[in-house]
Structure 1
Amino acid sequence: GYKFNDWEQKGVPLRLEIGPNDIAKSQILTVRRDSGVKAPIPLDFSSLPTSTSTSTTATTPAAISTFTTSIAHLLDTIQADLYTRAKEEYDSHIVEVTEWDKFVPALDAKNVVVMPWCDREACEDDVKERSGRAAEPQDERAPSAGAKTLCIPFDQSRWAPIEPGKTKCPACGQDAKHWTLFGRSY
């Protein structure tokens, strides 16, 4: 109900459910916020002291240790899954462009463009101006902001090697130095 929703809106990644049935089954039910998957974490409640027990050295630390280890592992799994999903989504929107006439349509499709670039400031300013102007007539709702360099990826091996004297910058025709990501800020 509303209590679950309230905590989910606050960003809590994991819900723990402990009810009479869970106690009877010696488990705690976990519910992942990112996927909704429910999974029980077994607990050893047999080591808990009872009201008639005179022992003060119960072995509950083992049950608590198992629980905390399971929760830590589950949170690490959630983080890894979220990162993987976001990385796949981002990578699916990186479009390789080697011709200027494909640059603006790729940006208009809300993609990030990677292209060979000459690394000149004048070229970057020209790309920003030309991509801003070119976007206007195609779609009234398209952002009119021009593209800008986002970064020079460290891993250049994802794309064809830059060949000096052969690989050209699609924006100005000069020799390209490296692959560079371009995009619009919204």
Structure 2
Amino acid sequence: MNSISKITAVFVLALLVLACNNKPKPVIEKDASTSKVSLKTNTNEDVIEGLYETHPESENSDECKISIEITKTKTGYSYFLKTKLRKLKGIATLTTNESGEKIIALEGIEWDEYEGDISREEENDSIADSGTNSQELKIPVGIGAGYTQDTLTIQNYGNAMNSYTKISECGRKYIQLIKK
């Protein structure tokens, strides 16, 4: 075999290897907890776009009809939240925390109730008694939802030490929305 035939054979073999090597496109994902940017590939990753809805629970008789539609935009994701009392649109941000849990933040939704950390109530009372102006608690804006395999989970209310309600139209502690 002459040298031209060998070079041609190597070239054809290299083209075949490159053509068969179907590499997925990389995705850049920002970790909100550490502000680190990581590079991931799109191999069998979950697609978060879609319509998520609550389902009736056998042990819970209250009506909790909520839907969230997440759509892909040019710059990221957007959401449309619908309950029996409101319809809201905004930006949805997908992040991954240190433990690998995916969180979808629904920006712009004001919580319905927030009393803050009431375990520090004695400290707050002593500041108020000393004549210092105690600051009015600001109601948080934005709702985070854990994301795992086509399910969004929102912790809807807190406990006696940290009292809050995010979506008062639903009395569930954990609101689970399942992708249709």
Q: Using structure 1 for the length normalisation, give the TM-score.
A: 0.22
Q: Structure 1 or 2: larger helix share?
A: 1
Q: Using structure 2 for the length normalisation, give the TM-score.
A: 0.23
When Rg is computed on C-alpha atoms for both structures, the one with the higher figure is 1
Q: Structure 1 or 2: larger strand share?
A: 2
